[in-house]
Amino acid sequence: MYQAHWGLKEECFENTPDPRFLSKSPAIGEIYAYLLYAPEGDRGAVLRAGESGCAKTLMARALIQDFSPEHTELALLTNPCRTPEVLLGEVLLQLGVEAL
C-alpha cells in the first residue's frame, strides 16, 4: 500500500532489516567505519549497543557483507543472553567450536 503512495519500487519495511537500506549519514558512517576497522585491523572485538530502533541490527547485517571472510570469524547474537555462560555458549556454537 505505501509503495504505490510513495512511488517506491520495492518493500523497505520488512521484519528482517535489509542492509541495502542503511543510510550512511556522517554519524552512522563514522560508527560503521570504526566497527569495520576494529576487527579487520586486529583491534579485537567490538560491541554496538543502543536504544531500540537505532539501526544496530541493520548496521550489523551491512557489516557482515563488508568483512573479509578469509580474515574474520563472525558470531551474530540477535537475542539477549541471560548469563555469561549462555553468551559464551552461543558464540562458540556460531563459531563452530564444540562445547567444552
In this predicted model, which residue has the larger pLDDT, 92 or 78? 92
Q: What is the pLDDT of residue 99?
A: 67
Residues 6+ apart with CB under 8 A from 15: none
Q: How far is CA 6 from CA 1, 21, 74, in A?
A: 9, 16, 37
Q: What is the pLDDT of residue 70?
A: 81
For residue 3, the number of C-alpha atoms closer than 13 Å in the C-beta half-sphere is 7
Q: What is the mean pLDDT of residues 5-28?
A: 82
Q: In the chain, what percentage of residues exceed pLDDT 70?
A: 97
71: pLDDT strictly greater than 80: no
Q: Which three cell numbers mark 87? A: 553468551
- Averaged pLDDT of the chain: 82
Q: Kindly report the CA angle at 26 between 22 and 30, in degrees rounded to 5?
A: 85
Dist CA 2 CA 10 (whole Å): 10
